[in-house]
């Protein structure tokens, strides 16, 4: 399940898809050195939970699935705005693939990753001051069809803060 979730998140965020979708042209270049500078150790913590309430009332979390902490570079912000329509918070069903041009392979490497625990909670400690996008997938099966999607929320931390985020549609 961990490998499946990693592949789904990577495919979604990288824009890989088997569907024929015209790529979205991005104007901001990806600056890997800037992204990696955001990932240096700091004094802040970003933690939270991720969940989707199903139509029938059940709740599905990100338990056992990967959460990514993406530095808010100009390139990342342009991608996030294209996916979610804004850079604050959003949800996109897994059936709606997005592709980008240019699509820098290094973009996926310049993130921090952790797993949601059994209750759908996660934590990133020692985060540097700045703004980050917290992204995960929440997925379940309904018959033979996967359901759910990718959720995102922006988090800004500085000065040793402990920021709590809830990822939900």
DSSP assignment of 129-147: SEEEEEEEEEEEEETTEEE
Token representation of residue 87: 């850079």
Per-residue confidence (pLDDT) for residue 102, from 0 to 100: 94
Q: The domain that contains 28 carries what CATH number?
A: 2.60.40.10
Query: What is the extent of the structural domain holding 161?
Result: 2-167
pLDDT of 149 above 70: yes
Please give the DSSP secondary-structure letter assigned to residue 63: B
Q: Which helix (H) or strand (E) holds 123?
A: strand 121-127
Total structural domains within the chain: 1
- What percent of the chain is modeled with pLDDT above 90? 78
Token representation of residue 23: 């790529």
- Which of left, alpha, beta for 3 (phi over 0: left; psi -120 to 50: alpha)? alpha
pLDDT of 15 above 50: no
* DSSP states along 66-106: EEEEEE--HHHHHHHHHHHSSSSEEEEETT----EES--TH
Tens digits of residue pLDDT in 25-83: 999 999 999 999 999 999 999 999 999 999 888 999 999 999 999 999 999 999 999 99
Per-residue confidence (pLDDT) for residue 50, from 0 to 100: 98
Closest CA to 84 of 49, 135, 130: 135
Token representation of residue 133: 């996008």
CA distance 2 to 142: 19
Tens digits of residue pLDDT in 80-109: 999 999 999 999 998 777 899 999 999 999
């Amino acid at each position: 399940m961990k490998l499946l979730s990693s592949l789904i998140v990577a495919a979604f965020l990288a824009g890989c898809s088997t569907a024929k979708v015209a790529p979205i042209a991005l104007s901001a270049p990806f600056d890997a050195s800037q992204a990696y500078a955001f990932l240096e150790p700091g004094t802040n913590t970003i933690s939270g939970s991720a969940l989707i309430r199903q139509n029938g009332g059940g709740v599905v979390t990100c338990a056992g699935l990967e959460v990514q902490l993406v530095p808010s570079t100009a390139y990342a912000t342009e991608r996030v705005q294209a996916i979610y329509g804004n850079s604050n918070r959003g949800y996109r069903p897994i059936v709606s693939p997005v592709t980008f041009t240019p699509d820098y392979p290094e973009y996926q490497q310049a993130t921090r990753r952790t797993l949601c625990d059994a209750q759908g909670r996660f934590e990133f400690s020692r985060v540097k001051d700045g703004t980050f996008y917290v992204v995960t997938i929440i997925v379940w099966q309904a018959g033979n069809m996967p359901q759910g999607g990718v959720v995102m929320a922006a988090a800004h931390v500085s000065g040793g803060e402990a920021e709590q985020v809830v990822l939900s549609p």
